């Protein structure tokens, strides 16, 4: 009983410290970063738990949340997930992780943020010209994780990030560095990740180049239009740390509680809380709550684990409430060989 009180006290202390830091900070460069699709959760388990998943993710899930945990992959795991996002956009994700034993674990991930074609409008044709254009963002990552001890693992991801709209695009290489420390004390885990470290991006294309050339011909000193056309931007870099533990675990029942602090380069610190109840590790019920977001607050989810002829598979679903922006639904299918 005393051990449970101590670990709950640790959980509350971290949460209070993170919460006080959140309210003590001043706003950073809001809207300064680009490629913000990298901050959208790509699978429903972490999304259902309010994004408080950096210390709880396991296996192929870690390709997004914490690449250090892919060392827990059993054999080979494949993850397919998809969900509608705001304003008729969609986020899709494919992850593949393989454990090589003492040589570590490798992973491959592809995330796509897409939307339907949009019609071109002009001042003369505000209802459309009949011409259409596309826009989207993609990230393809290669991950490696290695267990240095029975309790500590680290991981790294190198990813290619590409954005485009009409004939303009931008690309860069980004890196994630992460770690996970696991104890035998109520399965307490501490996870950390520094994500999306990269050079800045700059949109380029024929239309942008032509407009810059036209503005340059005006020979205006410190022309703000030229500066806006040639301005570069950074990825949404962030540092996230979290803890997770199982205060109750019996033969058929398990309860996990987790919290995470996310410190982005373009906003205040954000705090997330999550919990998962598992019955026989077959049925999982999940919930989460976020602090520091403009519209996001609570989320819910469930999962089913199935074992068929030595093939382990699972289906997961999450619901995210985005307030005025509507409701978000994620679905995923996972299979392990």
94-120 pLDDT, tens digit per residue, is 999 999 988 999 999 999 999 988 888
275 pLDDT exceeds 80? yes
The predicted model gives 35-47 an average pLDDT of: 91
Residue 301, beta-bridge partner list: 286, 318
- The pLDDT, as a whole number, for residue 23 is 41
Predicted confidence band of residue 22 (pLDDT cuts 50, 70, 90): very low
- The pLDDT, as a whole number, for residue 279 is 94
Average pLDDT, the chain: 85
| Gyration radius from the chain CA atoms | 22
Measured between alpha carbons, how far is residue 269 from residues 3, 19, 296 in Å? 30, 8, 14
- Would you tell me how many other CB atoms lie within 10 Å of the CB of residue 215? 18
3-state secondary structure of 284: strand
334 pLDDT exceeds 80? yes
The predicted-structure confidence for 173-210, as pLDDT tens digits, reads as follows 999 999 999 999 999 999 999 999 988 888 777 777 77
Listed residue (313, 247, 311) closest to 282, CA to CA:
313
Element (H, E) at 291: strand 283-291
- The pLDDT, as a whole number, for residue 55 is 95
What is the residue-wise DSSP string for 16-63?
Answer: HHHHHHHHHSPP--TT----GGGGS--SHHHHHTTT--TTT--GGGHH
The greatest distance separating any two alpha carbons of the chain, rounded to the nearest whole angstrom, comes to 77
Sign of CA dihedral 139, 77, 285, 317: positive
Sorted by where each starts, the structural domains of the chain and their CATH numbers stand as 2-198+234-336 (2.40.160.40)
Listed residue (7, 23, 11, 52) closest to 269, CA to CA:
23
- The pLDDT, as a whole number, for residue 273 is 95
- Would you tell me how many other CB atoms lie within 10 Å of the CB of residue 9? 10
- The pLDDT, as a whole number, for residue 231 is 73
- The pLDDT, as a whole number, for residue 269 is 86
Predicted confidence band of residue 306 (pLDDT cuts 50, 70, 90): confident
Q: Give the position of tokens 């696991």.
A: 182
- Return d(Cα 145, Cα 178) in angstroms, integer: 9
The predicted model gives 161-181 an average pLDDT of: 91
Predicted confidence band of residue 319 (pLDDT cuts 50, 70, 90): very high
- Return d(Cα 296, Cα 287) in angstroms, integer: 13
Residues 6+ apart with CB under 8 A from 75: 98, 99, 336, 337
17 pLDDT exceeds 60? no
């Amino acid at each position: 009983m005393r051990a449970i009180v101590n670990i709950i006290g640790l959980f509350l202390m971290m949460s209070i410290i993170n919460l006080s830091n959140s309210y003590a900070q001043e706003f950073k460069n809001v809207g300064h970063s680009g490629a913000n699709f990298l901050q959208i959760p790509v699978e429903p388990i972490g999304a259902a738990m309010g994004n408080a998943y950096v210390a709880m993710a396991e296996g192929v899930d870690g390709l997004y949340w914490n690449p250090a945990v892919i060392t827990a992959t059993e054999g080979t795991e494949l993850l397919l997930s998809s969900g509608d996002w705001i304003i008729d956009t969609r986020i899709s994700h494919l992850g593949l992780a393989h454990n090589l034993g003492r040589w570590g674990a490798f992973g491959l991930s592809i995330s796509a943020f897409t939307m339907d074609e949009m019609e071109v409008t002009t001042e003369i044709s505000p209802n459309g010209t009949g011409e259409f254009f596309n826009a989207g963002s993609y990230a393809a990552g290669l991950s490696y994780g290695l267990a240095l001890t029975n309790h500590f693992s680290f991981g790294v991801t190198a990813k290619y990030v590409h954005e485009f709209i009409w004939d303009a695009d931008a690309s860069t290489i980004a890196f994630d560095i992460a770690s996970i420390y696991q104890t035998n004390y109520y399965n307490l885990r501490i996870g950390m990740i520094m994500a999306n470290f990269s050079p800045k991006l700059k949109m380029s294309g024929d239309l942008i180049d032509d407009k810059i050339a036209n503005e340059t011909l005006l020979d205006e000193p410190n022309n703000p239009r030229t500066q806006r056309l040639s301005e570069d931007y950074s990825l949404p870099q962030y540092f996230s740390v979290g803890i997770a533990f199982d205060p109750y675990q019996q033969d058929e029942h398990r309860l996990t509680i987790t919290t995470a602090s996310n410190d982005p380069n373009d906003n205040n610190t954000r705090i997330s809380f999550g919990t998962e109840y598992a019955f026989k590790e077959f049925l999982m019920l999940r919930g989460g709550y976020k602090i520091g977001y403009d519209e996001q607050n609570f989320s819910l989810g469930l999962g089913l684990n199935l074992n068929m002829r030595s093939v382990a598979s699972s289906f997961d679903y999450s619901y995210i409430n985005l307030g005025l922006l509507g409701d978000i639904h994620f679905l995923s299918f996972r299979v392990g060989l």
